Amino acid sequence: MRIFKKPFSYGLRKKRRDIPDGLWSKCPKCSHMIFKKILEENFYVCLKCGYHFSLGCWERIDMVCDKGTFREIAKDIASCDPINFSGPKTYPQKLNEAMKETGLKEAAIVGEAKINGRDLTLGVTDSRFIMGSMGSVVGEKITRIIEVSLSKNLPLVIISGSGGGARMYEGMLSLMQMAKTSGALSYLKQKNIPFISVLTNPTMAGVMASFAGLGDVIVAEPGALIGFTGPRVIKQTIKEDLPKEFQTSEFNLGHGLIDMVVHRRDLKPTLDKLLYYLT
């Protein structure tokens, strides 16, 4: 009787299946496959097309601040359900899901830190937490870090990543945060304390129309979507084709809305220079 052996390729296929998952990432813009370790070393920027991957707030803090210098404040504030929002999911359900997915209590983290030895106050919003939208807690945290800047005479940097604007689940209370944060920033201007606003993809709606758009210097990452209403809604409303790269960082720089576009790897030294000149 003849015995047939298994083909040699069988063992190779088996070995391929044993390779751990999660070692590679696919660029959302150009579909280029990137080894995750290399992507991390390149500040989560695609090596082929320069696409800047989305980052969580703690990753941004680690990239910008001197190691071990960030001290968080107002970390135990949590949202309530002021208007008893009802829908397919309740507001508390949405909050609990966001907390489990991100490990955060809210869409913003604020505190004191150092950049190349320079003291500053820092706020970061995270687009993973209900699109980084601004409810009463986010507004309160941003206001509190502004007050720390005032009391200690420290420059303020806020890195915004909010595609959700004001948080509809809190009704008018969320819209009030636009005026609240903007009013608090006016006191910084009176005392000539610098505020640098860093815009990442996306920074939209009520956040862009309040504190994110009020920096003494406004910096943006390449290719970030920046505006109030999204381009799709605008196109449907005015029934006209929009300019090429409408609402990107580069488009807004060319039209005077922002001051500079900075690659992520250059953000920390750029902030250091700006803080040196402004203080």
Distance in angstroms (rounded) separating the CA atoms of residues 135 and 56: 18
Per the structure, the complete domain to which residue 34 belongs is given by: 9-53
* Statement to judge: residues 130 and 32 lie in one domain: no
pLDDT > 70? residue 129? yes
* Statement to judge: residues 130 and 98 lie in one domain: yes
pLDDT > 70? residue 234? yes
- Give residue-wise pLDDT tens across range 193-218: 999 999 998 888 888 889 999 999 99
pLDDT > 70? residue 18? no
* Statement to judge: residues 176 and 239 lie in one domain: yes
- Confidence grade of residue 11 (pLDDT, cut at 50, 70, 90): low
Q: Which burial class, exposed, middle or buried, applies to 86 when counting CB atoms under 10 A from its CB (0-12, 13-18, 19+)?
A: exposed
* Statement to judge: residues 48 and 71 lie in one domain: no
CATH of the domain at 258: 3.90.226.10
Q: Which of 18, 38, 53 is the last residue of a domain?
A: 53
- Give residue-wise pLDDT tens across range 236-256: 787 777 777 788 888 889 888
Residue 110 is assigned to a structural domain of this protein: yes
Residue 65 is assigned to a structural domain of this protein: yes
Residue 181 half-sphere exposure toward CB, CA atoms < 13 A = 30
* Statement to judge: residues 161 and 222 lie in one domain: yes
Residue 136 is assigned to a structural domain of this protein: yes
* Statement to judge: residues 47 and 59 lie in one domain: no
CA distance from start to end of the chain: 89
* Statement to judge: residues 41 and 113 lie in one domain: no
Residue 3 is assigned to a structural domain of this protein: no
Q: Which of 206, 247, 257 is nearest to 226 (CA)?
A: 247
* Statement to judge: residues 122 and 254 lie in one domain: yes
* Statement to judge: residues 23 and 107 lie in one domain: no
Residue 4 is assigned to a structural domain of this protein: no
* Statement to judge: residues 18 and 136 lie in one domain: no
pLDDT > 80? residue 55? yes
Burial code (b: 16+ CB inside 10 Å, e: under 16) for 226-256 equals bbeeeeeeeeeeeeeeeeeeebbbebbbeee
Residue 8 vs residue 100, higher pLDDT:
100
Query: Which residues lie below 8 Å from residue 203, measured CB to CB, with a gap of 6+?
Result: 160, 161, 162, 163, 212, 220, 224, 225, 226
pLDDT > 80? residue 235? no
Residue 1 is assigned to a structural domain of this protein: no
pTM of the model: 0.83
Strands 71-73 and 108-115: antiparallel
* Statement to judge: residues 41 and 63 lie in one domain: no
How high is the pLDDT of residue 260? Answer: 94
* Statement to judge: residues 129 and 74 lie in one domain: yes
Contact 180, 146 (CB under 8 A): no
Residue 271 is assigned to a structural domain of this protein: yes
Number of structural domains (the chain) is 2
Contact 140, 184 (CB under 8 A): no
Residue 37 is assigned to a structural domain of this protein: yes
How high is the pLDDT of residue 255? Answer: 86
